Amino acid sequence: MIPASFDYTRPGSVEAAVAALAADEEAKVIAGGQSLLPLLRLRFAYPTLLVDLGGISELRGVRDAGDALEIGALTTHYELTRDPLIAAHAGLLAQAAGTIADPAVRHRGTIGGALSHADPAGDLPAVITALDAVLVVTGPGGSREVSPGDFFADYLTTTLAPGEILTSVRVPKLGDGWGYHYEKFHPTAQAWAIVGVAALARRSNGHVAEARIGLTNMGSTPVRAGAVEAAAAGAEASATAMRAAAQHADQGTSPPSDLRAAADYRRHLARVLTGRALAKAAGV
């Protein structure tokens, strides 16, 4: 990798990191480096300063916070796949993290980095959108909490203000009756999703009481498939009913056409894959 030159700092606290960021508007945060390093390598980005969060131990790991899990921004994808709290209360996150790229990337890439990069083809943005997670952001003025809908602004763009860092993700614990499935459609194991569907369904008395669907790569930001959620709520927990509800999956989306797939094919895939993901989440 032959990037343009930059300065580097490795602060020991969030406050110091925020201060370093705030002092240089061309500074970039680096955590696992799995998105930033390719940009530097290709000289698509010319930061003057890299603020390495790697020395901030408080950003690591998963903590039980009562009704929710507090996941530090530096938690790696690999750790998401192995953490017992995640497995018990937010299994969708572990399942989806296990599909990201390859083992080398999963051992380096972090949840905070993946979300802040805001690639709509990334898996975790749609997953935390479906999970109704809250993003905790710290800046010069202190901390604030942001919903996924307010965090993801556009393709590779978040509403993080200059000097702000995503410090943790608060994921509500899934209660009894919830099932989940992440259906990822990618041409090779290491490739990004053409379309991904993060599905959650709460079953009650043979019916789906509640469903939440997040779509990967169906627009410039992760998308909630509201029409499917509405159609699934109260429906019989059957493959046929889930497939029927999923016919609305592409409503309100604006999928891209690119090298990998045209928009109409993505719309079709969203419907088929949502049906499958919902059925698995509903246990049918």
Residues that bind another protein in the complex, under the rule CB under 8 A? 2, 4-5, 38, 41-43, 102, 185, 187-192, 194, 243, 250, 259-262, 264-265, 267-269, 271-273
Beta carbon nearer to another protein, 186 or 203: 186
Least distance in angstroms from the C-beta of 110 to another protein? 19
Least distance in angstroms from the C-beta of 209 to another protein? 26
Beta carbon nearer to another protein, 77 or 170: 77
Q: How far is CA 150 from the centre of its chain?
A: 14
Interacting residues of 170 by C-beta distance below 8 A, sequence separation 6+: 65, 68, 69, 70, 71, 133, 134, 135, 136, 145
Distance in angstroms (rounded) separating the CA atoms of residues 55 and 105: 19
Least distance in angstroms from the C-beta of 101 to another protein? 10
Beta carbon nearer to another protein, 108 or 173: 108
Which amino acid would we find at residue 170? R
Nearest 5°: the CA angle 222, 92, 143 is: 60
Beta carbon nearer to another protein, 10 or 268: 268
Beta carbon nearer to another protein, 16 or 239: 239
For residue 30, give the H/E element and its range.
Answer: strand 27-30
Least distance in angstroms from the C-beta of 42 to another protein? 7
Least distance in angstroms from the C-beta of 216 to another protein? 15
Nearest 5°: the CA angle 282, 283, 284 is: 95
Least distance in angstroms from the C-beta of 268 to another protein? 4
Nearest 5°: the CA angle 168, 120, 75 is: 25
Beta carbon nearer to another protein, 112 or 275: 275
- Of the candidates 74, 70, 79, the one whose C-alpha atom is nearest the C-alpha of residue 14 is 74
